[in-house]
Amino acid sequence: MRLISSGTAYWQLSEMVGSDKYINFSSLSMNMQSLLDIGLWIPNKVNDDSGFYWKAYYHFKGNYKVIPHFLPISADAVLDVSLAKTFQNQYLQLKRWAYGVEHIPFIVRQYFSTKDLDFWDKTDKLSFIMWSYFKWGTMALFIAFGGLLIPILNPQYSESVVAINMPIISSWILTAAYIGLFATIIVHEKTVPERPKSWGIFHKIWSYLQWTLMPLILVTIATIPAIDAQTRLMLGKYMEFRVTNKARSSA
C-alpha cells in the first residue's frame, strides 16, 4: 500500500511538470464565484476534482490556471480489516481514479465547439490528457510483454535486424526505467516522515526492499484497474461514486 500511495503521488507530480499541465487532483480549493460561474459540481461524474478544471478552462476561454499551494497535507493510505480487503479497496480506488477518462468526451466536444481558445493550447491539453490515460493502462504491459507478442503477430519478425537488436534496446529502456525508480526512492526518502522508532530492524529493512516489487505492481494492481475502468466505460457499464475505506495503523 505504501508503494502504491507513494507511486501515485510521484506519478501525478511527474505528469504535471510545467505549470501548463496543472490539473485539479484530490486536494484543491476554488473560489465560490468561479464555482458558481461554471455551474457548481458535475452530478453525473464519478471524479469531480478534475472535472472542475475542465469546466472552468472552457468556460473562461482558457483564462483559468491552477496555482499550486505549498502547504503540507496528509492523507491516510487504504487500510481495511484484512490484507485481502485492503487490496480489494486499493484496486477499487485505482479503478475509480482511472475512470477519470469519463471526462474525455466532454473535453473533445468542448475542443471543437469552443472557438475562442488558442488552438495550440487546447490541442496540447487534449493530447496530454488522452495520452495520460492511454499509457496508464498500456505502457507497463508493452514494456514487460511487448517483445513476446511481436513474434506471434509477425512470425518473420525473429529474422529481422530489429529482433536481433531488441535485447540491447530493451536493456537500455529498462536501465533508464530503473534510474527513474532510484530517483523516486531518493525523493521519497527526502519527503516522507522518519520511520517509527517502534519498527524493528527487519521492518525497516523491508521498507527499503519493498521497492523491488515496483515492476510487479506496475503490471498488475497499477495497470489492471485502468483497463477495467476504461473497458467498463466503453461498454456502458457505468460506475458510481464509492468511498474508499481508510484507517490509521498504530504500527
Instruction: Evaluate the CA torsion angle 243, 101, 19, 38 in order and state its sign.
Output: negative
Q: Is residue 223 in a domain? A: yes
pLDDT tens-digit map of 155-200: 777 777 777 777 787 778 778 877 877 877 887 777 777 888 888 8
Q: Is residue 57 in a domain? A: yes
Confidence check: pLDDT of 23 > 80: no
Q: Is residue 167 in a domain? A: yes
How many domains would you assign to the chain? 1
pLDDT tens-digit map of 51-68: 778 888 888 887 877 777
Q: Is residue 242 in a domain? A: no
pLDDT tens-digit map of 32-51: 887 787 777 777 777 777 77
Cell digits for 86?
485492503
How far apart are alpha carbons 20 and 18 in whole angstroms?
5
pLDDT tens-digit map of 103-120: 888 888 888 888 888 888
pLDDT tens-digit map of 73-91: 666 677 777 778 888 888 8
Q: Is residue 247 in a domain? A: no
Q: Is residue 150 in a domain? A: yes
Mean pLDDT of the chain: 78
Which of 146 and 198 is assigned the larger pLDDT?
Answer: 198
Confidence check: pLDDT of 147 > 80: no
Q: Is residue 160 in a domain? A: yes
Instruction: Evaluate the CA torsion angle 104, 106, 108, 110 in order and state its sign.
Output: negative
The model's pTM is 0.75
Residue located via cell numbers 496530454: 128
Which domain covers residue 201, as residue numbers?
A: 2-234
Q: Distance between the two ends of the chain, CA-based, in angstroms?
A: 14
Q: Is residue 203 in a domain? A: yes
Mean pLDDT to the nearest integer, 123-151: 81
